[in-house]
C-alpha cells in the first residue's frame, strides 16, 4: 500500500512531540511504503490551500491514499492507528 504523507516543511523537527514527525516515524517503524509531500511553510497558514481543500482543516499531517481519499486525525491517533496496522481501514472509512 503506497500512500502520501502530507506534512509541514519543518523536516528538522524530529522530536516526539512534533505532529508530522510522530506520524512519519510511525510509518517508518511500521514499514509502510509512503511518499513524502512537503506542503509549504510549517508556520504560514496561507500556504495550506491544498490541505484545507482536501481535509477541511489547516492542520498537518494528513495521509492521501492512491484512490484520492484522505485520512486526518490528531497525530497521536494517526500514529496509533498506523502502529496497530489499521491504516487500510481508514481508507475504507474515507
Give the tens place of pLDDT for each residue, 29-59. 999 999 999 876 545 555 578 888 899 988 9
What Å distances lie between residue 10 and 81, 85, 86, 90, 92, CA to CA?
23, 26, 27, 26, 30
Percent of the chain's residues with pLDDT above 70: 83
Of the listed ranges 19-23, 44-48, 80-84, the one predicted with least confidence: 44-48
11-37 average pLDDT score? 87
Q: What is the mean pLDDT of residues 48-75?
A: 91
For residue 68, the model assigns a pLDDT of 92
- For the chain, percent helix, then strand, then coil, each to nearest 5? 40, 20, 40
Antiparallel, parallel or unpaired: β 2-7 and 33-38: parallel
Amino acid at each position: 500500500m503506497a500512500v502520501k504523507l502530507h506534512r509541514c516543511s519543518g523536516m528538522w523537527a524530529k522530536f516526539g512531540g512534533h505532529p508530522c514527525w510522530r506520524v512519519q516515524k510511525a510509518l517508518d517503524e511500521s514499514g509502510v511504503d509512503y511518499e513524502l509531500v512537503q506542503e509549504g511553510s510549517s508556520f504560514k497558514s496561507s500556504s495550506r490551500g491544498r490541505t484545507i481543500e482536501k481535509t477541511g482543516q489547516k492542520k498537518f499531517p494528513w495521509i492521501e491514499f492512491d484512490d484520492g481519499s484522505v485520512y486526518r486525525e490528531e497525530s497521536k491517533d494517526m500514529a496509533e492507528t498506523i502502529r496497530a496496522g489499521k491504516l487500510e481501514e481508514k481508507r475504507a472509512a474515507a
